[in-house]
Amino acid sequence: MIKALENFDLVIFGGDGDLSLRKIIPAVINRIKDGQIKSQSKVVVASISSYTTKSFITYMKDKMLEYGIKIDQSAFSELITMISYVNLDLTISSNYQALYKALEKSPNPQTIFYYSTPSKLFDVISKHLFENKLINDVTKIVLEKPLGSNLKSFEKLNKQVRKYFREDQIYRIDHYLGKETVQNLMVLRFANHLYELAWNAQNIDNVQITVAESIGVESRKEFYDSYGALKDMIQNHLLQLLCLVAMEPPSSLTADNVRNEKLKVLQSLRPYKANEISSLTVKGQYTRGEVDSKFVNSYQEDIETYESNTETFVALRTYIDNWRWAGVPFYLRTGKRMPARYSEIVINFKRVAHNLFPSRNKIDRNKLIIRLQPEERIELVQMVKLPGPGGYRYKPISLELDYGGSFSKKFPEAYERLLIDVVRGNQTLFMHEDEVRASWEWIHSITDNWDKTEQELELYKAGSDGPGNKVLKPSHYWHQSKAFGNEEIVV
Ligand code: BG6
């Protein structure tokens, strides 16, 4: 039985935008459907477009249909009774009076302001909320990434927001942390004796984290071109995954304890030096090619500028300089226009110390594969004997746990879980300012050295596995779970 939440008011700035219509509002609808959000809560969509509440509802409905979002009709009807649209220019303080009016009579104890806007507006929104007396002790704000574009811009933005809000009122969202499989990482590691015993440099050879997407830059040309894959994906999502894989067991599950452990990982990441950057990192950009048997344009064609040096692919090898992980390479890879959409974490264990079997072939490594998407699955790859006489023949076979399929209920979307956590005041799955700071510091050692050494941008065909160099060549380290199953090592 899901417990209903205390009623609240949710204001979504930029609420008529893509993120809101694809993720935030559908998350509210799903939680209404499960009875967790009651109709006494309010949803206020605030934006500069001149909708009325009625015309916004029509627009929202059409967009959700266009995006193919499946919504429960009765929950949607309930949402309509809770939603209102406020037309305001976020940069004009007096405009916030309309918001004040929309909220003033609400009996709900807490207001959550969701900043689904470019981060350059975070300062001005916070200031105007303050000037219009819309902030109190229990107000919370949710900040969407990107949080700045480097350490300096993050510090500036953070300082401005912190003028008006305490750290415990700020929820910096990284939707990867809301994914069920990502949270399952904590349980997998800390509720299974066997894994925790093996989770160190003595037993693990390398760790590979891949987030591959088959989509291109879609409608976000300008934004993406000023960011690139390193800042769009590695700085947040992949580093957060790395933290969960590598952190020490926290002494308890409180937000501070978990976030402190993640912070220590980020602070232990080895910064890059100019003389090694080209052998430890690869950046690439897609050219024309084929994805899902369909011809697709090059990145330059997609963004229509024809002279961009922005990377749409990054692969890198990094090290965590602490006792647990000394000498263990962590490979991070992400790219757009890859052959398929998949995200996975692969823990490659060391080979057995001695091969007892009279073979020229190596015994394959044990691997723990945590597949995050498109399907949620955990595989433990181990060597088994092929049945039959004639000596020992063996091959790697997976013990598979269909994580998604093992439960009758569909997993909630990441945004649903995160929204509920904001209402409940649980910051565990949100980034502390120190984590963001540490990740930008480390990212700086990459961007700075890419600039200093004028590192080459390698082109790759859309639909291929991306570029690679001697050290980071795909075949050298990328795990392809489908491919190895047929390998047979004959003694
Ligand atoms: C976003 C990035 O944060 O994550 C996008 O800005 C990317 O470029 C997206 O496509 C991927 O999220 P998911 O949940 O689809 O893997």
The model's pLDDT over 1-15, given as tens digits with 9 standing for 90+, comes to: 678 889 999 999 999
Q: Quick one: residue 14, left, alpha or beta (phi over 0 = left, psi -120 to 50 = alpha)?
A: left
pLDDT at 219: 83
Percent of the chain at pLDDT > 90 equals 77
Residue 309 CA, ligand 1 centroid: distance in Å: 21
pLDDT at 375: 84
Residue 192 CA, ligand 1 centroid: distance in Å: 30
Residue 433 CA, ligand 1 centroid: distance in Å: 21
pLDDT at 487: 34
pLDDT at 468: 61
101-159 pLDDT, tens digit per residue, is 999 999 999 999 999 999 999 999 999 999 999 999 999 999 999 999 999 999 999 99
359-392 pLDDT, tens digit per residue, is 666 788 899 999 988 888 899 999 888 888 877 8
Q: Whose CA is nearest to atom 10 of ligand 1?
A: 213
Q: ∠ at Cα 168 (38, 256), nearest 5°?
A: 110
The stretch 75-88 carries a mean pLDDT of: 97
Specify if 420 maps to a domain.
no
Q: Whose CA is nearest to atom 9 of ligand 1?
A: 233
pLDDT at 89: 97
| Structure-token match 């859309």, residue found | 462
Specify if 389 maps to a domain.
yes
The atom number, within ligand 1, closest to the CA of 341 reads: 16
With beta carbons less than 8 A apart as the criterion, state whether 94 and 121 touch: no
Q: Whose CA is nearest to atom 6 of ligand 1?
A: 232
Residue 156 sits in the same domain as residue 243: no
Of 181, 233, 286, 375, the one to substitute when testing ligand 1's pocket (max ligand atoms within 8 A of C-beta) is: 233
Q: Which domain holds residue 56?
A: 9-172
Residue 305 sits in a domain whose CATH number is: 3.30.360.10
Q: ∠ at Cα 113 (39, 36), nearest 5°?
A: 30
Q: Residue 209: enclosing H or E segment and its boundaries?
A: strand 204-212
Specify if 447 maps to a domain.
yes
Residue 145 sits in the same domain as residue 215: no
Residue 343 CA, ligand 1 centroid: distance in Å: 11
Residue 55 sits in a domain whose CATH number is: 3.40.50.720
d(CA 188, CA 217): 34
pLDDT at 374: 87
Specify if 417 maps to a domain.
no
Residue 340 sits in the same domain as residue 323: yes
Residue 272 sits in the same domain as residue 196: yes
Residue ending a domain, choose from 133, 148, 172 = 172
The atom number, within ligand 1, closest to the CA of 237 reads: 3
Of 175, 180, 314, 431, the one to substitute when testing ligand 1's pocket (max ligand atoms within 8 A of C-beta) is: 175
Burial 1-39 (b: 16+ CB within 10 A, else e): eeeebebbbbbbbbbbbebbbebbbbbbbbbbbeebbee
Query: pLDDT class for 402, splitting at 50, 70, 90?
Result: confident
Whole-number mean pLDDT of the chain? Answer: 91
Specify if 2 maps to a domain.
no
pLDDT at 1: 65
The stretch 204-218 carries a mean pLDDT of: 92
Q: Whose CA is nearest to atom 2 of ligand 1?
A: 232
The atom number, within ligand 1, closest to the CA of 215 reads: 10
Query: Which DSSP state fits 119?
Result: G
Of 223, 232, 312, 416, the one to substitute when testing ligand 1's pocket (max ligand atoms within 8 A of C-beta) is: 232
Specify if 302 maps to a domain.
yes
Residue 211 CA, ligand 1 centroid: distance in Å: 9
Specify if 4 maps to a domain.
no
Contacts 24+ apart (CB under 8 A), 193-198: 195/368, 196/249, 198/349
pLDDT at 472: 47
d(CA 152, CA 448): 13
Residue 349 sits in the same domain as residue 448: yes
Whether pLDDT at 490 is above 50 = no
Residue 157 sits in the same domain as residue 199: no
Residue 213 CA, ligand 1 centroid: distance in Å: 8
Catalytic residues: 237
Residue 235 sits in the same domain as residue 376: yes
Q: Residue 151: enclosing H or E segment and its boundaries?
A: helix 151-162
CA pseudo-torsion sign 276, 281, 286, 287 = positive
With beta carbons less than 8 A apart as the criterion, state whether 334 and 233 touch: yes
Peptide linkage before 146 cis (omega within 30 of 0): yes
Protein residues whose CB sits closer than 6 Å to any atom of ligand 1: 213, 232
With beta carbons less than 8 A apart as the criterion, state whether 315 and 466 touch: yes
> Worst-scoring range by mean pLDDT, 91-95, 258-262, 329-333, 362-366?
362-366
The atom number, within ligand 1, closest to the CA of 179 reads: 14
Whether pLDDT at 485 is above 50 = no
The atom number, within ligand 1, closest to the CA of 236 reads: 3
**The model scores a pTM over 0.95:** no
Residue 295 sits in the same domain as residue 401: yes
Residue ending a domain, choose from 111, 144, 172 = 172
Residue 176 CA, ligand 1 centroid: distance in Å: 9
454-484 pLDDT, tens digit per residue, is 999 999 999 988 886 444 443 334 444 332 3
Residue 296 CA, ligand 1 centroid: distance in Å: 19
Residue 241 sits in the same domain as residue 166: no
Q: ∠ at Cα 17 (72, 343), nearest 5°?
A: 75
Residue type (1 letter), 114: Y
The atom number, within ligand 1, closest to the CA of 174 reads: 3
Residue 193 sits in the same domain as residue 338: yes
d(CA 215, CA 221): 13
Specify if 431 maps to a domain.
yes
Q: Which two tokens stand for residue 440?
A: 């930008």
Residue 110 sits in the same domain as residue 191: no
Residue 450 sits in the same domain as residue 469: yes
d(CA 410, CA 407): 7
Of 147, 213, 235, 314, the one to substitute when testing ligand 1's pocket (max ligand atoms within 8 A of C-beta) is: 213
Residue ending a domain, choose from 172, 194, 210 = 172
What is the number of domains present in the chain? 2
d(CA 407, CA 388): 36
